[in-house]
Amino acid sequence: MTYIMVDVEADGPIPGDYSMVCFGAIVVQPSLDRTFYGRLRPISDKWIPEALQVSGFSRKETLDFDEPAAVMQQFANWIAEVRSGQPMFISDNNGFDWQFINWYFHHFLGRNPFGHSSTNLGSLYKGVVRDTFANFKHLRKTKHTHNPVDDARGNAEALLAIKEQYDLKISLK
């Protein structure tokens, strides 16, 4: 199984009504050298300035980004290249990140290479340390910048640290 850490930036709270602006993904393995980055043209006229501001892009800039269908196909192709067995989607906030990736895959490609499951890194950490108030973010090495590749990398670093420090039984291929 290949764990792929994903981070999404969007211009609103839900897919369909709002748009995924960009996303990053990284294969969780010690080298952390297999990454994907996509920037997507808006699919909706609706957007929330404060939400978009987090990404660091202006609305005008996003209008010149790539066609979402092409980006999602490139992402699916990348997943097929890097995966060993079933790819597993994991993110810091999978309630947010998963909804956008899943919706975009189904809307534009008719399928999601991740299947129907995702994992939440924060919940995994809480279970490992047996504390529902615990936070894993101190395990990141890469600064959280809202560049989705940086953020996915930091979260992947945290998962690798959890595996090492807590002897987490996880197969990272």
- Tell whether pTM > 0.85: yes
Burial string for 107-139 (b: 16+ CB within 10 Å, else e) reads ebeeebbbeeebbbbbebbbebeeeeeeebeeb
pLDDT in tens, 116-149: 999 999 999 999 999 999 999 999 999 999 999 9
- Give the pLDDT confidence score for residue 69 in this predicted structure: 98
8 Å CB contact between 93 and 8: no
107 is catalytic: no
Q: Which domains does the chain have, with CATH numbers?
A: 2-166 (3.30.420.10)
Q: Give the Å distances, CA to CA, from 116 to 41, 57, 106, 135, 173.
A: 25, 31, 11, 26, 20
- Give the pLDDT confidence score for residue 164 in this predicted structure: 96
- Give the pLDDT confidence score for residue 75 in this predicted structure: 98
pLDDT in tens, 13-65: 999 999 999 999 999 999 999 999 999 999 999 999 999 999 999 999 999 99
8 Å CB contact between 1 and 171: yes
Q: Stretch 106-120: mean pLDDT, rounded? A: 97
- Give the pLDDT confidence score for residue 58 in this predicted structure: 97
pLDDT in tens, 77-100: 999 999 999 999 999 999 999 999
Distance, CA of 100 to CA of 115 (rounded, Å): 14
pLDDT in tens, 148-171: 999 999 999 999 999 999 999 998
- Give the pLDDT confidence score for residue 171 in this predicted structure: 86
116, 138, 144, 146: which one is catalytic? 146
Where residue 172 falls among pLDDT bands split at 50, 70, 90? confident
